[in-house]
A = this chain, B = another copy of it.
């Protein structure tokens, strides 16, 4: 079953997400990605420069989706800041609940490679964290809390839930996860 031409770029990307999720980047074979995508091994290199470029592209897509969604939220200045925070979490969750494999790639590979590449990926991440920090502060952190650090706590907490939730054996639903995150955020932002 050959893909419609023009779809190959996407087919390869999706296959890569799946294979990277299953075996990890290091163990993933380009030949397998090609097979999963339904194209020839060599074709992968018509669309991407290298195996690493494939991963890079996955993260680029991921971040641009997320940051697009978040920048839309940021414009909604009429929405109360507490609700903006909740919607932000929802947006992040939405991205990964669509695609469990992407979630697994994200939790396993992102931080290592972001560190190695030091480029636009790190920029995206910083943008994201700044936005998260600002939103937290808008929502009003409890007394003594420092937004520049709490942003990492919140990010880490959400990241871990995504991690758990991407595991097929995860005992709780996405909805429960979301509820608990919102509980935590409310605790942290309820005035003193």
Number of this chain's copies in the assembly equals 4
Which residues of B have CB within 8 Å of A152? 157, 160-161, 163-164
Which residues of B have CB within 8 Å of A97? none
Interface majority SS on A: helix, strand, loop or mixed?
A: helix
Cβ of A156 and Cβ of B160 under 8 Å apart? yes
Nearest B residue (CB) for A142: B187
Interface size on A, residues (CB 8 A): 42
Which residues of B have CB within 8 Å of A159? 156, 160
Nearest B residue (CB) for A146: B180
The docked-state distance in angstroms from the alpha carbon of A111 to that of B103 is: 13
Of A33-41, A61-69, A75-83, A169-177, the one contacting chain B is: A169-177
The docked-state distance in angstroms from the alpha carbon of A36 to that of B180 is: 45
Interface of chain A residues 117 through 164 with chain B (CB within 8 A): 142, 144-146, 148-150, 152-161, 163-164
Cβ of A180 and Cβ of B108 under 8 Å apart? no
Cβ of B161 and Cβ of A153 under 8 Å apart? yes
Cβ of A153 and Cβ of B160 under 8 Å apart? yes
Q: From A25, A145, A153, A167, name the one whose CB has the most chain B CB atoms within 10 angstroms.
A: A153
| A112 partner, pick from B24, B149, B176, beta carbons under 8 A | B24
| Apart from A149-B161, A153-B184: 8 A-B pairs, beta carbons within 8 A | A108-B112, A142-B183, A144-B179, A145-B184, A153-B157, A153-B160, A153-B161, A156-B158
